[in-house]
Amino acid sequence: MVGSALVTALLGHDYVVNALSREERHADVPDVRFFRWDVAAGEVDAACIDGVDAIIHLAGENIGALPWSNRRKQAILESRTQSIELLYGLLGRQPKHAVKSVISASASGYYNDRGDEWMTEDKPPAPDFLGQTCADWERAVSNGRALGLRTVSLRSGVVLSSVGGIYAKVAHMVKKGLGVIPGSGRQWLPWIHIDDAVAMYIFALEHNGIQGVYNMAAPEQVSFSTFIRTIAKQQKKPLWLPRIPGFFLRAVLGQLSEMLLASTRMSVEKIRNAGFVFKYPEIKGAIEVLEDSRL
């Protein structure tokens, strides 16, 4: 979802994009070329870095697709760390490459459930699966500094898009009169409109002073309850179903329930101080635009 929107935006900024895919693909538009890789097998088409001066790393198994068995957890972690290690290995074997910067995704799961505490980038990771996965992911990305690369990790909150992800699912349920609030609803939901997420990747790409870790979320922090109720208000739909108790979600989803019940309140002062300007800083305006695009 983010990758497709990002490629479109990069083309609009006159970039040429080399995209890595697990399958053979051919681009439908000029200035996009696909190259095949197989992370598990340690294989990547060496030609993918020809003429490339920056890498944007979004690769990773979908953490919300299946329950978290031990095998699934291993796949979630290794898909993130081994993929960037594979690219660093390629760069190491081709010392005349032109790559200077690596901009990578990370996630708000680094902090996970921290109640009402403001999370700044210097906070330690949560001592659980999500926290340690994000920490290992960021550490793997930062290893690029030993190769002389500028590395950036953007700890993303929930990306809101009308075409996929949590927003499209929740908005559809609300429209059908099935909107529900998980847990108490008081948990903080770090969110960002997809246009701002894409813009932040490009901002980090184009500003050499951006290095290290930055939180990626909208300035206005809202509770999960506010998020659902704002959608319902915009759709003019009632919310009559009861809240789903946390213990029920844990029984049904296991550790995957952490994604719905964790309370994460992220500060974005660091990226704002670097000069990034949000197009959608408030949830009401973001949802108005998202709902208009769904009509």
Are 86 and 39 in contact by the 8 Å Cβ rule? The answer is yes
Task: Break the chain down into helix, strand, coil percent, rounded to 5.
Answer: 45, 20, 35
pLDDT at 248: 46
CA–CA gap between residue 254 and residue 67 (Å, rounded): 7
Q: What angle do CA 275, 278, 283 make, to 5 degrees?
A: 150
Residue 250 pLDDT = 52
CATH of residue 95: 3.40.50.720
Distances (CA, A) of 107 to 60, 77, 114, 155: 11, 12, 14, 4
Per residue in 201-260, pLDDT (tens digit) is: 999 999 999 999 999 999 999 998 898 899 999 999 887 656 665 554 455 445 445 666
Instruction: Provide the number of structural domains found in the chain.
Output: 1
Residue 64 DSSP SS3: coil
Confidence at residue 272, expressed as pLDDT on a 0 to 100 scale: 98
Q: What is the pLDDT of residue 27?
A: 82
| pLDDT value for 133 | 94
Q: What is the pLDDT of residue 252?
A: 47
Please report the pLDDT score of residue 170 as a whole number. Answer: 81
Supply the pTM of this predicted model: 0.92
| pLDDT on residue 254 | 52
139-169 burial, b if ≥16 CB within 10 A, otherwise e? ebbbbbeeeebbbbbbbbbbbbbbeebbbbe
Distance CA 181, CA 244 (A): 6
Closest CA to 289 of 231, 202, 203: 231
pLDDT of residue 46: 96
Give the residue ranges of the chain where pLDDT is below 70.
64-67, 183, 240-260, 294-295
Give me the torsion for CA of 67, 69, 71, 77, rounded to 10°.
70
Q: What does the pLDDT read at residue 160?
A: 94
Distance CA 12, CA 142 (A): 29
Q: Which domain holds residue 212?
A: 2-294
